[in-house]
Structures are given as structure tokens and as C-alpha cells.
Amino acid sequence: MSLLNKLEKIVHYFQPPQKTARVAKERLQIIIAHERQRDNPDYLTLMQKELLEVISKYVQINKDDIKIELDRKDGCSILELNIVLPASGVVA
């Protein structure tokens, strides 16, 4: 073992241990946010499709004109729906 290695070990010994609880929390926050998103798209895409169908009955819009976003914090979910209507495009 080189002197440098030894030195590193000695330095490491005196360093305060890393707070693993914080690491745990950060890892959980990331993975859970990811998994919650994954749980939802089924109904989100379905809803987007149905909304598009309904709105298309009255107004001419494209698929890209509807934006749906779901945010979840503090135990409640916020559904944000953004529909861009064209200036003139009423069908019936």
C-alpha cells in the first residue's frame, strides 16, 4: 500500500461519517416522484384523448393544443389543463 493510500485512510478515519438518513430521503424523493408519475399516465393520456374528442365537436383544435399536467404535493394532486383555442374555428 502506498503512503498516499495510507494517508487517505487515516484522513477518512477522522472524517465525520456521512449522514446516511439524508441520502435515504433524497433517493426516496426522487424514486417516488418518478413512480407516482408512472402510475398515472394511463388515465392521463386517455383523458387527453377524450377531451380532444369532446372539444373537437365544437372547436377545431389539434392534439398539441391540449396540455395536461399533474402535480402532486402535500397529499393533494393538482391537475392543470391548458387548452389553446384558435381565434376562429367554431364548427357548429
Partner 1 sequence: MAEVIVVTSGKGGVGKTTTSASLAVGLSNRGYKTVVIDFDIGLRNLDLIMGCERRVVYDFINVIRGEANLNQALIRDKHAKELYILPASQTRDKDALTQEGVQKVLDELQKTFDYIVCDSPAGIEHGAQMAMYFADHAVVVTNPEVSSVRDSDRMLGLLSSKTKRAEERREPVKEHLLITRYSPKRVTRGDMMSLEDVNEILAIPLLGVIPESQAVLRASNAGDPVILDEESDAGQAYADAIERFLGEDKPFRFVSEKVHWIKRLFSIKEKEHA
| 86 three-state secondary structure | coil
C-alpha cell at 69: 399536467
SS3 content of the chain, % helix, strand, coil (to 5): 60, 20, 25
Beta bridge partners of 81: 68
Beta bridge partners of 47: none
Among 6, 7, 32, 58, binds partner 1 (CB under 8 A): 32
28 binds partner 1 (CB under 8 A): yes
Site membership for partner 1, residue 45 (CB under 8 A)? no
Show the site string, 61-80: x = touches partner 1 by CB under 8 A, - = not: ------------xxx-----
Residue 29 within binding range of partner 1, rule CB under 8 A: yes
Interface residue list for partner 1 (CB under 8 A): 17, 19-22, 24-25, 27-29, 31-32, 35-36, 39, 73-75
